[in-house]
Structure 1
């Protein structure tokens, strides 16, 4: 079953050529789908003429940036778009049965039974006041008519099937007791409860760490083989597409601009936009032979032309004292059963962490969620008060400063947060938001603030007249540029970037990373770059520190960490990175399915005294215990 898409002519007309053996055995057939939403000016199409098919046991990926129409396509198939405010035209057939003519009652029997869907954020998909076992059983009772006892037994079997440890004992637990990866496994169990013919996975791994993402992808592939179902996988990550998809549909501005076998899309893309997506995929091992960070190549979506990235100039001042010196940084959160009760335990979030960053240097702090990366960054900024240790900013110990003194020193260090929309006041124009720190610190007058804001906007690649817009009028990448402009307003020496690009589309991520590298080269900025994306970290960092359970287990130059990883946890992180090579799609990867251990310890716990050995100059690794001896082999960097 092959669907070919020839390159559109200059007028943009899509020429679809179908093979002779077509729709008779297709599980899902989408033909000339148009999804429109009501606006003040009438109906606006956001999906325009999309066609594709999914065969038995086949995985089709729909890929594109935010706003391209991917999720609306999936919601239209499920008929979950807002009634009255949306309309769907064209044809959607499930095994030959037209879905768009079904009543609401008939469609309810289809949803969850014949077609199941996994959403991007499992915590918003699960009811927080109901146990996970009840929520799985609910689908079994509704669609399969099982008794409560039968549904409970089947729910436990499903939890075992999706690799949730101690499934029987966790049946009655609530969603907040599960990690992000385990909550996504619960969503998969609910989706599989009624043995659907088609599983729609809408960005199911975007919010997950690289190791958890690898687990979920392997799980979906294994369950697809066991259950014989077809999969529609929606994502903006071309590395994930290469891992999982038989065929790929590339969407841009509501249209399917290119469709074909995944290998063909990767090896010989016909559309400039497809080439731009592929060029922006961070490839592990691409920095071999490069001693300094390097920009991502950026393709023009219209012409297909690209710039040739080069190593960034060396701005690290080796002879100068480091901008930031952190020694023995520790943060523990006390656990009490009541306000006046004694301490029952502690969360060992950050334990005895030490590192330094020079001017013009980027130190990347990597690890899974819960390892203490963000707590380290916030402790450095004193947004969280550390329990002990020292944080020296150009020789001044920030932990000994009063609140007033700290406010003066904060001009030299700024933070960029993961979610730019949550970082900006939705009622404040972005020009006002950027000018605010300048006015509060008395750096400029109100009459001069406008010119300063205009200069900052231009510096981050935006237009000066954008200062009069509100945050909701910008894309995610533009909002992150605004946050960078605000961080630069006070001309800091240090910027803490906490997952600053993890929520962005792959092409927008490349643009923001390139901007940060260019600003660093121009201004000599020191970056603490917090991330779980090892491929991006390889591109931007001079040195890398790997964290696990609040401790640094390995630290050293970027080349040493990526080409000669020593600690088993570092090897595990590298092995989990998706490789944008469809030829490796059928290869089994060594992925562990265990959860990250809890950092909670008893009140009388005494931390172990850690020892490190130096592997090479500047490359130190924690001496680990026998429990770390795993079967994960070092990843081969192509």
Structure 2
């Protein structure tokens, strides 16, 4: 029986000023019905180009594909454009890496999901909208029916990714190409989405080509694994074999770079990620960083912070009664489900969204009452790394100009000095200084995230709000950039408000951890207390959902699925109850579960 997808000797080239340049060379792989094949490798290795080549989504005239791409025996490279339109979204579903760039901002979410059903399934518009609601509920979008007519910008990054998954699965394709489908999702939703993809795969006997940098996910879902490096396929085989006995040095180093939960021991401070020998692929665990002086005054004080947004039929309580402080040289991580209020909290700290109540004080200055001049000075010392690097970079200016702009704007450097500083910053985050003249669209998602980090470091700030700063990076670069952030913290006394859904990275990076659920902090305390002795049921659920990078321990049991994430939408006259906390150990506070958790689960 022929495989669903067979890629034979594929070479994809891009047209440059010097001529055609091959970016992937002589790639051959196949995906059988009901099988999951994972493509792994560092950012820029050619994983996404392979997927885009299969769907013929590369720009005509600027890209050239040679070889054969067979869908159930039919060569897609010889198909007409009309035939490809029926293939895309019909026979082949695709989940793209960056949902904001693949969702149309001028159409509602419901319209975009229903459109695929009308075109490929020939449903009436009303039937397609009803099916769209069912699909949104299946990927656990809260209040799906009410949000059907909302636009993409009103959804969080994780919520937008769930919309993309719903769209890709809408027509029950024969092949699903998933390009980093769970990058923007927290671990609990990731576990459930992976389970749902596997369930649909079993129901429809669907083949899955899974592109990811998360080796824990690979261990969890992949039957076979293909390792790519700089455009070449260097190793492939059964996933268990790749993990147990990798042959290539690069594969060994990739596996050695994986952050693993539970490796911190008794360490009180963050620990550098393992250093990997480039020649052997062997790793030596990183050293423990310096602990924070407990006597120093906080650089950031947040007290009773609330952020609420009015909607037509109620008020969204995005953040409610959140309090914490952050000391110089300390990392406090905010973790929780997509839509729980993590990013909104980070934005409110820098007054990128206005607080509805409470106070934020940075280095002794009240953010809420600051005028334009004072706010500009505050942001000189407090920077943000955004979750979506493509949306936060201006597509019309070079990345060198984007990094230099804050230095020039604040008068910290002349043009020549700024250029030199840009080159040094790019080198620091693992890019060549020579790429400064390129535009954002010329980089992969992971490379764009590194550019965003370089830009945040340009002003040498005291406080950085890092919103999923390493989520888009492959494991080797994630370790490199995380170590860079730790080194900069130790050298300059930087403080990080580190927003992340990667619990293994959070364990390595944090001094303290705050767990958020539905806009509220339900547990906060030292890193060791949270990971070694989690008290709140939601914290325990988060930690238990982390995928283990070991195929022999692949979880076959169904994850704990709740019917729906509860919506933060409340009536206009809703008065949030005052929560109570218990101190279970020094500095370790847990919200009273009797008064809060049960109430919200049944709300």
Q: Check 1:99–1:539 CA distance in 2 against 1; reply closer, same or farther (3 A cut).
A: same
Greater CA deviation, 94-103 or 572-581?
Answer: 94-103
Mark the CA change 1:77 to 1:575 in structure 2 (over 3 Å): closer, same or farther.
same
Q: 1:386 aligns with which of 350, 355, 359?
A: 355
The aligned counterpart of 2:550 is: 581
User: Does 2:491 align with 1:522?
Assistant: yes
Partners of 1:132 and 1:391 in 2: CA distance: 39
**Correspondence for 1:29:** 6
Task: Select 1:209's aligned residue among 170, 173, 186.
Answer: 186
Counterparts of residues 433-444 of structure 1 (less than 5 Å): 436-438=405-407, 440-441=409-410
- The answer to whether residue 364 in structure 2 is matched with residue 404 in structure 1 is no
Aligned match of 1:131: 111
Distance in 2 between the 1:356 and 1:264 partners?
47
Note if contact 1:297-1:307 (Cα within 8 Å) is conserved in structure 2.
Answer: yes
Aligned partner of 1:415 among 364, 374, 384: 384
How far the C-alpha of 1:119 sits from its partner, in A, is 3.2
Would the aligned equivalents of 1:239 and 1:581 in 2 still touch at CA under 8 Å? Answer: yes
Paired residue for 2:473?
504
Shift, 1:161, TM fit: 7.0
Assess, with a 3 A threshold, how the Cα gap between structure 1 residues 404 and 125 changes in structure 2: closer, same or farther: closer
1:57 correspondence with 2:37:
no
Provide the residue aligned with 1:602 in structure 2: 571
Where 1:399 maps in the other structure, the secondary structure is coil
Name which of structure 1's ranges 421-430 and 257-266 shifts more when overlaid on structure 2: 421-430
Alpha-carbon deviations, 1:196-244, whole Å to 9, x = none? 4433223222233332222211001111122222222222221211111
Partner SS for 1:131? helix
Q: Which runs of 5+ in 2 are unaligned?
A: none
Displacement of 1:353 = 1.2
1:36 Cα deviation from its structure 2 partner: 2.5
Deviates more, 1:535-544 or 1:403-412: 403-412
Instruction: State the distance in 2 between where 1:563 and 1:89 align.
Output: 53
Structure 1 residue 239 and structure 2 residue 216: aligned? yes
Task: Give me the whole-angstrom Cα distance separating, in 1, the residues matched to 2:125 and 2:404.
Answer: 60
**1:71 alignment partner in structure 2:** 48
Residues 256, 388 of structure 1: alpha-carbon distance in 2 compared, 3 angstrom cutoff = same
- Residue aligning to 1:261: 238
1:328 counterpart residue number: 304
Bigger CA drift: 393-402 or 199-208? 393-402
Shift of 1:599: 2.1
Contact 1:247 1:259 in 2 (8 A): yes
CA distance in 2, matches of 1:609, 1:560: 25
Please identify, of 46-55 and 557-566, the stretch whose mean Cα deviation from structure 2 is larger: 46-55
* CA distances 1:292-312 after superposition (whole Å, capped 9, x unpaired): 2111224355x2345523333
Match for 1:184 among 158, 164, 179? Answer: 164
Residues 336-365 of structure 1 show CA distances to partners (whole Å, capped at 9, x for unaligned) of: x6xxxxxx7432222221111122211111
Residue pairs, 1:35-114, within 5 angstroms: 35-107=12-84, 110-112=87-89, 114=91
RMSD across aligned positions (CA): 3.6
In structure 2, what is the Cα distance between the partners aligned to 1:151 and 1:426?
35
Q: 2:252 is paired with a residue of what secondary structure? A: helix
In structure 1, what is the Cα distance between the partners aligned to 2:188 and 2:217?
13
What's 2:272 paired with? Answer: 295
Q: CA deviation at 1:546?
A: 0.9
Distance in 1 between residues matched to 2:515 and 2:138, nearest whole Å: 32
Among 584, 591, 594, the alignment partner of 1:622 is 591
Cα pair distance change 1:593/1:51, threshold 3 Å: farther
User: Shift of the alpha carbon at 1:448?
Assistant: 6.4
Flag the structure with more relative contact order, 1 or 2, with Cα contacts below 8 A and sequence separation at least 6: 2
**Distance between the aligned counterparts of 1:147 and 1:423, measured in 2?**
38
- Tell whether 2:336 aligns with 1:367: yes
- Contact between 2:256 and 2:281, CA under 8 Å: does it hold in 1? no
Task: Indicate conservation of the 8 Å contact 1:457/1:482, yes or no.
Answer: yes
Query: Mean alpha-carbon deviation: is it higher for 278-287 or for 552-561?
Result: 278-287
Is 1:561 matched with 2:530? yes
**1:9 paired residue number:** none
What is the aligned partner in structure 2 of residue 304 from structure 1? 280
- Distance, in Å, in 1 between the alignment partners of 2:21 and 2:398 is 27
Displacement after TM superposition at 1:378 (Å):
2.2
Cα distance in 2 for partners of 1:87, 1:576 equals 42
Q: Flag the 1:598–1:41 CA change in 2: closer, same or farther, 3 A.
A: same
Rounded Cα–Cα distance in structure 1 between residues aligned with 2:385 and 2:136: 38
Task: Say which is worse superposed, 255-264 or 580-589, in terms of deviation.
Answer: 580-589
1:273 and 1:126 map into 2 onto residues whose CA distance is 35
Change (3 A) 1:113 1:481: closer
* Correspondent of 2:289 among 313, 316, 333: 313
Shift of 1:288: 2.8
Deviates more, 1:66-75 or 1:211-220: 66-75
Rounded to whole Å, the distance in 1 between the matches of 2:142 and 2:422 is: 53
- Structure 1 residues 55 and 485: CA distance shift in structure 2, 3 A: closer
TM-score, normalised on structure 1?
A: 0.81
Residue 635 (structure 1) aligns with:
none
- Measured at CA, do residues 121 and 593 of structure 1 come closer, stay the same or move farther in structure 2, by a change above 3 Å? farther
- Kept in 2, the 8 Å contact 1:330–1:353? The answer is yes
Residues 101-144 of structure 1 deviation map (CA, whole Å, 9 limit, x = unaligned):
444555555555544433335565566256367325324545xx
Question: Quick check: 2:579–2:596 contact (8 Å CA) kept in 1?
Answer: no
Structure number with bigger Rg: 1
- Structure 1, residues 156-211: CA drift from partner, whole Å, max 9, x if none? 887787777898x679756658743541342243230xxx4433223222233332
Q: How far, CA to CA, are the matches of 2:440 and 2:463 in structure 1?
A: 25
Among 317, 324, 339, the alignment partner of 1:348 is: 317
Which deviates the most, 114-123 or 592-601? 114-123
Which is worse superposed, 586-595 or 621-630?
A: 621-630
| Aligned twin of 1:230 | 207
Q: Offset at 1:567?
A: 1.4
Q: CA, structure 1 residues 409+223, in 2 after alignment: closer, same or farther (shift >3 Å)? A: closer
Q: For 2:131 and 2:440, locate their aligned partners in 1 and report how far apart those are by CA, in whole Å.
A: 47
Answer yes or no: is the 8 Å Cα contact 2:118–2:124 preserved in 1: no
Instruction: Determine the C-alpha separation between the residues in 2 that align with 1:39 and 1:25.
Output: 37
Q: Distance in 2 between matches of 1:530 and 1:587?
A: 30
Question: 3-state SS of the aligned residue for 2:254?
Answer: helix
CA distance in 1, matches of 2:413, 2:94: 53
Cα distance in 2 for partners of 1:28, 1:482 equals 35
Matched residues in 1 for 2:503 and 2:351: separation?
27
